[in-house]
A and B are shown apart, each in its own frame.
Chain A
Amino acid sequence: NAGVMQNPRHLVRRRGQEARLRCSPMKGHSHVYWYRQLPEEGLKFMVYLQKENIIDESGMPKERFSAEFPKEGPSILRIQQVVRGDSAAYFCASSPSGEQYFGPGTRLTVT
Chain B
Amino acid sequence: QKEVEQDPGPLSVPEGAIVSLNCTYSNSAFQYFMWYRQYSRKGPELLMYTYSSGNKEDGRFTAQVDKSSKYISLFIRDSQPSDSATYLCAMRLFMEYGNKLVFGAGTILRVKS
Contacts and interface: CB of A to CB of B under 8 A. Distances in A.
Interface of A: 4, 6, 31, 33, 35, 41-45, 48, 50, 55-56, 58-59, 91, 93, 95, 97-105, 107
Interface of B is mostly: loop
B36 interface: yes
Contacts of A98: 32, 49, 98
Given A98-B32, A102-B36, A45 B43 contact: no
A101 B42 CA distance: 13
Interface stretch (B56-64, B68-76, B77-85, B102-110): B102-110
A42 B43 contact: no
Q: Which of A6, A55, A58, A102 has the most chain B CB atoms inside 10 A of its CB? A: A102
Contacts of B45: 102
Interface residues of B, number: 23
Given A41-B105, A42-B88, A59 B100 contact: yes
Contacts of A104: 42-43
Contact of B97 (A44, A55, A93): A55
Residue among A35, A97, A103 facing the most chain B CB atoms (10 A cut-off) = A35
B17 interface: no
Nearest to B51: A98
Contacts of B32: 98
A99 B43 contact: no
B97 A107 contact: no
Contacts of B42: 104-105
Contacts of A105: 42-43
A42 B103 contact: yes
Given A41-B105, A98-B49, A48 B43 contact: no
B100 A56 contact: yes
B99 A99 contact: no
A42 B98 contact: no
Nearest to A4: B43
